[in-house]
A and B are shown apart, each in its own frame.
Chain A
Amino acid sequence: MNNLLQFVIRYSAFILFLLLEAVALTLVVKYNKNQKGIFEHSSSIFSGKLYQMADDVYQYNHLQTFADSLASENAQLKQQVFNLERSVQRLIPADKPLDSCILEAYQLIPAQIINNSINQRNNHFTIDRGKKDGIVNGMGVISEQGIVGIIEETGSEYAMAVSILHSAVQISASIQRNGYFGSLVWKETDPAHMILEAIPGQADIRIGDTITTSGYSFIFPKGIFIGKVEQFWTEGGSNYYTIKVRLHEDIARMNRVYVVKYLDENLLKNEQ
């Protein structure tokens, strides 16, 4: 007993070290499994406020750029609305008002990114909207340039999302020209490219083809632009293409995003 005690005292620093390393590793493993643990609220309580403050300063320096890009996006959207209204009016009976014919299927909640990362194996970002603004776990996040992530944890005022640059993310995406679909994953450390897998070998693929969301889930609406085919090949012995997709959105620089909220899932199911 005495010997044991002596041993413990002699190597106490080493034992303490092992103990704390074990705690840290448990955290790592636990976190990799389901992203829960004691960090659940970190995005809302403490770091959220600080990041918001820092982001305000950063924003101020870039106001002009943001204003310009918003104005051009606005113009584009207005143009789309006018064109769509025109086409819808041609299709519906003349005596019905236009408003009653438009489906209220989903709503976009504007948000701002206050914390972002791209150079880790599993990347996350934080937005300045939370439960208070109607955000729930599992909603998709898009920007004007493409999809960017999926909401994972929501606090009252902030929410954390897994970036599409995350080793566990799989997004159903299709080739716009011919409708073949597969799952989009992030494998490399390169934040500008993702890999589209499981496209059958008979599909006709050309470099430069547009990749969009397939709409086979309720996370992202159908037809959101993701990127372009940059390179494709078949792994040895496989019947499926592996496609390298160049993302249209620069995840490192994105700032303003929209959270997609489905208002009526039944409506959409019926429609399909």
Chain B
Amino acid sequence: MNSRDSLFHIIRAVIILLIQILVLKRIGLSSLWWWQHGQIFLYPIIILLLPFRMTRHYVIILGFVVGLLIDMFYDTAGVHAFALTGMAYARGILMTWLEPRGGYQITMSPTNHTMGINWLMIYTSISVFIFCFLYFIGEVFTFVYLGQILLKTLITFFMSMIVIMGFHFLFNPKK
């Protein structure tokens, strides 16, 4: 990855973070039923869109850092970092599972453009589900409310998937 590519990734990440903090967080502030049980997360896409050749270690550390940044704005010390680090680790395992016969084009990122819609759907949905589940476990910090955790996870998962896949179709990122 040359420096121009890195810069592109960083700027895109900052824009996604801003959308998450300034728009998506605010949308959750209405009194409708489903907002009370769920939230919308777009920012996991930052980790999902990292290039294939990035080593696992970098991905995990980035997950932690991005999570902490979001925590600062959500006032939820550690919860987002916990969930996103978990998702970043899972990404490594998922990539091994889902590796196509010819291997990955390692300079590319996992997008609709490079991998096709089926692969992208499986990859994104498993990752986002893991993220949402870990997030609500970290938030409640006990398994006592398992029913509530699952309900919140499902609602948040569907709303986040809509936003994340929307991002893919709208901007159709190639890197």
Interface residues of A in 44-65 (CB under 8 A from B): 46-47, 50-51, 54, 58
The one of A13, A27, A253 that contacts B78, using a Cβ cutoff of 8 Å: A27
The one of A37, A51, A58, A250 that contacts B77, using a Cβ cutoff of 8 Å: A37
- Given the interface pairs A13-B92, A32-B141, A121-B139, the reply to whether A191 lies near B31 with Cβ below 8 Å is yes
Q: Are A43 and B75 in contact (CB under 8 A)?
A: yes
- Given the interface pairs A13-B60, A20-B60, A24-B64, the reply to whether A47 lies near B78 with Cβ below 8 Å is no
Q: Are A20 and B85 in contact (CB under 8 A)?
A: yes
Q: Are A124 and B78 in contact (CB under 8 A)?
A: no
- Given the interface pairs A189-B148, A252-B30, the reply to whether A20 lies near B64 with Cβ below 8 Å is yes
Contact of B172 with A by CB under 8 A: no
- Given the interface pairs A12-B57, A27-B77, A28-B138, the reply to whether A118 lies near B36 with Cβ below 8 Å is yes
A154 to B9, CA, bound (A): 36
Q: Are A24 and B85 in contact (CB under 8 A)?
A: yes
Please, which residue of chain B has its CB at the minimum distance from the CB of A189? Answer: B36
**B139 proximity list for chain A (CB < 8 A):** 120-121
The one of A29, A38, A190 that contacts B36, using a Cβ cutoff of 8 Å: A190
Q: Among the interface residues B25, B76, B78, which one has the most CB atoms of the partner chain A within 10 A? A: B78
Contact of B122 with A by CB under 8 A: no
A116 to B75, CA, bound (A): 10
Interface size on B (CB < 8 Å)? Answer: 41
Please, which residue of chain A has its CB at the minimum distance from the CB of B32? Answer: A252
Q: Are B73 and A24 in contact (CB under 8 A)?
A: no
Contact of B140 with A by CB under 8 A: yes
Q: Are B75 and A160 in contact (CB under 8 A)?
A: yes
**A189 proximity list for chain B (CB < 8 A):** 36-37, 148
A58 to B23, CA, bound (A): 11
- Given the interface pairs A24-B64, A32-B141, the reply to whether A117 lies near B36 with Cβ below 8 Å is no
Please, which residue of chain A has its CB at the minimum distance from the CB of B59? Answer: A13
**B71 proximity list for chain A (CB < 8 A):** 27, 39
Q: Are B57 and A21 in contact (CB under 8 A)?
A: no
Contact of A25 with B by CB under 8 A: yes
**B141 proximity list for chain A (CB < 8 A):** 28-29, 32
Q: Are A16 and B61 in contact (CB under 8 A)?
A: yes
- Given the interface pairs A13-B92, A24-B138, the reply to whether A39 lies near B29 with Cβ below 8 Å is no
Contact of B123 with A by CB under 8 A: no
A20 to B78, CA, bound (A): 10
- Given the interface pairs A39-B75, A190-B36, the reply to whether A24 lies near B29 with Cβ below 8 Å is no
The one of B60, B67, B86, B138 that contacts A16, using a Cβ cutoff of 8 Å: B60
Please, which residue of chain B has its CB at the minimum distance from the CB of A43? Answer: B75
- Given the interface pairs A13-B56, A16-B60, A121-B140, the reply to whether A28 lies near B29 with Cβ below 8 Å is no
Interface residues, chain B, CB within 8 Å of chain A?
21-22, 25-26, 28-31, 35-39, 56-57, 60-61, 63-64, 67, 71-79, 81-82, 85-86, 88-89, 92, 138-141, 148
Interface residues, chain A, CB within 8 Å of chain B?
12-14, 16-17, 20-21, 23-32, 37-39, 42-43, 46-47, 50-51, 54, 58, 115-121, 124, 160, 189-192, 250, 252-253
Extra inter-chain contacts (8) besides given A20-B61, A120-B76, CB under 8 Å: A23-B64, A25-B82, A28-B77, A30-B77, A42-B72, A115-B73, A119-B28, A252-B29
**A-B CB contact pairs (8 Å), 9 listed:** A17-B60, A17-B85, A24-B64, A28-B141, A30-B78, A51-B73, A118-B36, A119-B36, A119-B39
